[in-house]
């Protein structure tokens, strides 16, 4: 039996795709340079840091939680990694920085489990607190100063490649993103632990009664988010060549915005990293297109807010 | 077991909190100006110590306070005017002699400053002044004139490009007092000249990544037409330099404001033409001088604009290297 095409259902499910196509068409009509190779490279580079953080946040939201600590994790990982380049060398600095992000995510999960915090609201307050701690540590660690990579003497070739290197027509950071996306998609869809995260987010009580290890899922969710935030931090400071102790500010809200706009439900249980890619693409394109179109920064903030409201409204409509 | 872990973690968080929260530290009045002279108690109420210039100002106040017979505590508002208002109340209750305040919102802080004045606390505005209609609620202001900083940048463009140029502007945090004044001053200075301000965008915060992304988009839009860029802060200029480098545009005339280490290094390296420096050291010293003069009943100026340093590759060695 052929399923009837429903425009309403299509719009509810793929509005983000429609929005991207419309935005691109309008921008091309007004500013044809949008399609230039230079701009496509820009989009790839601007896509970088937020895309990694959003991939991690996808698992948190699918699992029925929220993580506001990513801002603090990004800040702390960035300043620690940059500070270790001279004394330890770039390879060890990179390894320690990424391991630190994963550890901070793990620490979040331990606090949540210890506190018995299994609701989104509890996670929101606890991770907000953890973010404050990590951000304060970044400030204490640097004495409030921005660290510039130009001040370092050690070899920074890895970070230079991540920040501005190209492999053919793709930026290095975009290639790392594609590898991460593939690995996380396989983890989510093809492994028991990945599916357990969706069951956990769908209904924690039912999942527990079915023998799903909830605590293990919580540990995995937050560790992945910490790890991806750390990779995002490395991509970010490699791109801009500075690490300020507040460098992660705003990434938590933009990551949640990207995940929700992509179509992952805030209620947990359903979602996909592929959908998040669409969300990040829309957010990145919005800034790029609006700068090319000359839309004022105030109006850009208004439009971002409006998109979040529409995405949540659509999310609720889909449930009805 | 899990409860023990939670207790340990919470204890750790509290320890960090104690270090990170206000008041962060107090200067030791180890070397007052004169032996046996009275020591005064002052507070530095700042928007956020995560703002580098404010963290540096706090260091400067700590360094110079003993010389003027003060001990100074810092209160951090975390960019929330309510926290700053609470800090003012605390200072009144604890009998502080003077406060040096750089508020997040120069209008919203006025009622708190009225209370401070009524309680006899000396109110010194630091870096940002109150609006003209409320200036009776402060005793003095020490800071740079952000409008003047914008004007200085505009004048530098007019001088460097007497035959005109195609330039773009990347502003600081949209809606921030300094962003608005620097933009206003800049426009005023280039008005009537041959400088063509082709485009302007502000950032969501004083965020280098934002400045870099906007510059990348400007490069796509205008390409080699761009001859100059006015960036409202030196750390933002770092991102702009990266964007220009990636586009192989090496001869763009870039001006930034702040005069911080990054700005000096960029001017020295030739990637930034000018940095318009604000001396937070002089701002801190002048604030202490004014408060001391007022406490001792001596005359002082109510409005103290700290002169701006226009730092270029030619004169950079005549200025002390900044510490922030």
Binned average pLDDT, 10 residues per bin, chain B of 324 residues: 52 47 42 65 91 87 94 90 93 95 90 94 92 92 91 95 96 88 96 95 90 95 96 96 94 94 94 92 94 94 91 90 79
Q: Do residue A135 and residue B175 have CB atoms under 8 angstroms apart?
A: no
C-alpha span between A241 and A291 (Å, rounded): 22
Establish if B68 belongs to a structural domain: yes
Looking at the structure, tell me whether residues B128 and B160 fall in a common domain: no
The domain of B126 spans 22-143+279-306
Looking at the structure, tell me whether residues B94 and B179 fall in a common domain: no
Distance from CA of B172 to the nearest CA of A (A): 11
Q: Per-residue pLDDT tens for A99-155?
A: 999 999 999 999 999 998 888 899 999 999 999 999 999 999 998 888 999 999 989
What is the count of structural domains for chain A? 1
Looking at the structure, tell me whether residues B151 and B238 fall in a common domain: yes
Tokens of A121: 């609201």
Establish if B321 belongs to a structural domain: no
Chain B touched by A36 (CB under 8 Å): yes
Which of B220, B235, B245 is facing A242, going by the closest CB pair?
B235
The domain of A118 spans 48-313
Mean pLDDT per 10-residue run, chain A (320 residues)? 70 81 92 91 90 97 96 97 96 97 97 90 94 94 89 93 92 95 96 95 90 94 98 96 92 92 89 93 91 88 83 71
Looking at the structure, tell me whether residues B183 and B259 fall in a common domain: yes
What is the count of structural domains for chain B? 2
Task: Show which of residues 4-33 on chain B sit within 8 Å of chain A, judged by CB atoms.
Answer: 5-6, 9, 13, 16-17, 19-20
Q: Do residue A144 and residue B212 have CB atoms under 8 angstroms apart?
A: no
Report pLDDT for A144: 82
Chain B touched by A115 (CB under 8 Å): yes
Distance from CA of A186 to the nearest CA of B (A): 31
Task: Show which of residues 244-263 on chain A sit within 8 Å of chain B, judged by CB atoms.
Answer: 244-247, 249-250
User: What 3-state DSSP class applies to A268?
Assistant: coil
Calculate the CA B300 to chain-centre distance.
23
Environment class of residue B9 by beta-carbon count within 10 Å: exposed (0-12), middle (13-18) or buried (19+)?
middle
Distance from CA of B213 to the nearest CA of A (A): 7
Establish if A17 belongs to a structural domain: no
Q: Chain B partners of A113 at a C-beta cutoff of 8 Å?
A: 2
Measured CA angle at A257 (ends A251, A261), to 5 deg? 150
Establish if B5 belongs to a structural domain: no
- According to DSSP, residue B34 is labeled S
Distance from CA of A273 to the nearest CA of B (A): 24
Establish if B172 belongs to a structural domain: yes
Please count the CA atoms within 13 angstroms of the CA of B199 that sit on its side-chain side. 21
Reported residue count of chain A is 320
Establish if A1 belongs to a structural domain: no
| Residue from B11, B15, B58, B208 to probe the interface with A (highest A Cβ count within 10 Å) | B208
Task: Show which of residues 225-264 on chain B sit within 8 Å of chain A, judged by CB atoms.
Answer: 235, 238-239, 242, 245-247, 261-262
Instruction: Give helix B234-246 / helix A214-240 axis angle, nearest 10°.
Output: 80
Which of B50, B56, B209 is facing A245, going by the closest CB pair?
B50
Establish if B323 belongs to a structural domain: no
Chain B touched by A137 (CB under 8 Å): yes
Q: Which residues contact B109 (CB under 8 A, 6 or more apart)?
A: B81, B84, B85, B88, B101, B103, B130
Q: Do residue B204 and residue A297 have CB atoms under 8 angstroms apart?
A: yes
Which of A111, A113, A136 is facing B20, going by the closest CB pair?
A136
Q: Do residue A110 and residue B9 have CB atoms under 8 angstroms apart?
A: yes
Looking at the structure, tell me whether residues B209 and B98 fall in a common domain: no
Chain B residue with minimal CA distance to A235? B209
The CATH number of the domain holding residue A91 is 1.10.3470
DSSP E strands in B31-76: the ranges are 40-46, 70-76
Establish if B153 belongs to a structural domain: yes
Nearest to B197 by CA among B206, B185, B205, B208: B185
Tokens of A219: 């540990």
Report pLDDT for B9: 57
Report pLDDT for B4: 52
The CATH number of the domain holding residue B68 is 3.40.50.2300
Q: Chain A partners of B322 at a C-beta cutoff of 8 Å?
A: none
Reply yes or no: is the peptide bond before residue A29 cis, omega within 30 of 0: no
Report pLDDT for A180: 97
**DSSP letter string, A133-190:** HHHHHHHHHHTTPPEEGGG--S--HHHHHHHH-EETTEEHHHHHHHHHHHHHHHHHHH
Establish if A224 belongs to a structural domain: yes
Q: Chain B partners of A294 at a C-beta cutoff of 8 Å?
A: 199
Helices (H) and strands (E) counted in chain A, each on its own, are 13, 4
Q: Do residue B50 and residue A31 have CB atoms under 8 angstroms apart?
A: no
Establish if A301 belongs to a structural domain: yes
Calculate the CA A281 to chain-centre distance.
12
Looking at the structure, tell me whether residues B81 and B189 fall in a common domain: no
Establish if A258 belongs to a structural domain: yes
Which is it for strands B228-231 and B98-102: parallel, antiparallel or unpaired? unpaired
ipTM of the complex as predicted: 0.84
Establish if A89 belongs to a structural domain: yes
Looking at the structure, tell me whether residues B118 and B198 fall in a common domain: no
Establish if B311 belongs to a structural domain: no
Looking at the structure, tell me whether residues B247 and B288 fall in a common domain: no
Establish if B7 belongs to a structural domain: no
Distance from CA of A10 to the nearest CA of B (A): 33
Q: Which residues contact A123 (CB under 8 A, 6 or more apart)?
A: A65, A66, A67, A112, A117
User: What 3-state DSSP class applies to A280?
Assistant: helix
Q: Which residues contact A294 (CB under 8 A, 6 or more apart)?
A: B199
Looking at the structure, tell me whether residues B139 and B286 fall in a common domain: yes
Which is it for strands A170-171 and A166-167: parallel, antiparallel or unpaired? antiparallel
Establish if A10 belongs to a structural domain: no
Tokens of A15: 């509005």
A-B CB pairs within 8 A amount to 127
Measured CA angle at A224 (ends A219, A229), to 5 deg? 130
Looking at the structure, tell me whether residues B85 and B132 fall in a common domain: yes
Chain B touched by A39 (CB under 8 Å): yes
Looking at the structure, tell me whether residues B272 and B291 fall in a common domain: no
Distance from CA of B18 to the nearest CA of A (A): 10
C-alpha span between A187 and A220 (Å, rounded): 11
Q: Chain B partners of A42 at a C-beta cutoff of 8 Å?
A: 213, 216-217, 220
Report pLDDT for A3: 65
Looking at the structure, tell me whether residues B153 and B272 fall in a common domain: yes
């Amino acid at each position: 039996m052929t399923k009837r095409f429903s425009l309403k259902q299509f719009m509810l499910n793929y509005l983000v795709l429609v929005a991207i196509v419309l935005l691109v068409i309008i921008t091309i009509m007004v500013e044809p340079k949008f399609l230039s190779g230079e701009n496509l490279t820009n989009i790839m580079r601007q896509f970088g840091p937020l895309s990694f953080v959003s991939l991690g946040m996808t698992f948190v939201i699918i699992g029925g939680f929220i993580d506001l600590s990513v801002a603090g994790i990004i800040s702390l990982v960035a300043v620690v990694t940059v500070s270790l380049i001279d004394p330890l060398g770039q390879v060890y600095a990179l390894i320690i920085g990424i391991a630190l992000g994963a550890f901070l995510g793990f620490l979040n999960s331990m606090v949540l489990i210890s506190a018995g915090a299994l609701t989104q609201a509890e996670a929101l307050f606890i991770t907000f607190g953890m973010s404050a701690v990590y951000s304060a540590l970044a400030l204490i660690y640097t004495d409030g100063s921005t660290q510039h990579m130009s001040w370092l003497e050690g070899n920074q070739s890895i970070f230079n490649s991540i920040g501005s290197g190209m492999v053919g027509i793709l930026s290095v950071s975009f290639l790392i993103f594609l590898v991460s996306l593939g690995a996380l998609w396989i983890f989510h869809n093809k492994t028991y632990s990945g599916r357990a995260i969706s069951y956990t987010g769908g209904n924690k009580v039912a999942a527990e009664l079915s023998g799903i290890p909830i605590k293990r899922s919580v540990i995995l969710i937050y560790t992945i988010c910490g790890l991806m935030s750390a990779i995002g931090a490395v991509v970010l400071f490699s791109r801009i060549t500075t690490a300020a102790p507040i460098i992660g500010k705003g990434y938590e809200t933009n990551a949640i915005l990207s995940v929700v706009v992509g179509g992952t439900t805030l209620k947990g249980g359903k979602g996909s990293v592929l959908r998040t890619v669409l969300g990040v693409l829309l957010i990145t394109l919005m800034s790029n297109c609006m700068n090319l179109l000359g839309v004022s920064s105030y109006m850009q903030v208004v439009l971002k807010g409006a998109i979040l409201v529409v995405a949540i409204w659509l999310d609720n409509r889909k449930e009805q | 077991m899990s409860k023990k872990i939670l207790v340990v973690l919470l204890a750790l968080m509290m320890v960090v909190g104690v270090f990170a929260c206000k008041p962060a530290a107090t200067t030791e009045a180890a070397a007052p100006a004169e032996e046996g002279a009275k020591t005064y108690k002052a507070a530095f109420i700042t928007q956020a110590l995560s703002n580098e210039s404010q963290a540096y100002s706090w260091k400067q106040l700590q360094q110079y306070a003993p010389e003027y017979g003060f001990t100074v505590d810092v209160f951090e508002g975390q960019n929330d005017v309510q926290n700053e208002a609470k800090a003012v109340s605390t200072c009144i209750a604890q009998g502080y002699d003077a406060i040096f305040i750089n508020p997040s919102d120069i209008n919203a802080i006025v009622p708190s400053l009225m209370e401070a004045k009524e309680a006899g606390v000396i109110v010194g505005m630091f870096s940002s002044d109150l609006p003209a209609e409320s200036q009776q609620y402060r005793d003095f202001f020490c800071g740079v004139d952000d409008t003047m900083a914008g004007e200085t940048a505009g004048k530098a463009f007019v001088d460097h490009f007497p035959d005109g140029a195609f330039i773009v502007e990347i502003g600081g945090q949209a809606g921030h007092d300094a962003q608005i004044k620097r933009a206003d001053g800049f426009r005023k200075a280039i008005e009537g000249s041959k400088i063509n301000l082709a485009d302007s965008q502000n950032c969501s915060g004083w965020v280098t990544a934002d400045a870099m992304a906007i510059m990348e988009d400007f490069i796509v839009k205008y390409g080699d037409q761009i001859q100059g860029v006015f960036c409202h802060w030196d750390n933002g200029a770092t991102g702009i330099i990266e964007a220009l480098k990636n586009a192989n545009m090496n001869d763009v005339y870039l001006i930034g404001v702040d005069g911080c280490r990054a700005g000096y290094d960029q001017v020295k390296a030739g990637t930034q033409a000018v940095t318009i420096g604000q001396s937070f050291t002089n701002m801190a010293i002048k604030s202490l001088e004014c408060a001391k003069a007022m406490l001792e009943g001596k005359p002082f100026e109510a409005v103290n604009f700290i002169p701006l340093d226009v730092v270029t590759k030619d004169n950079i060695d005549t200025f002390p290297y900044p510490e922030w």
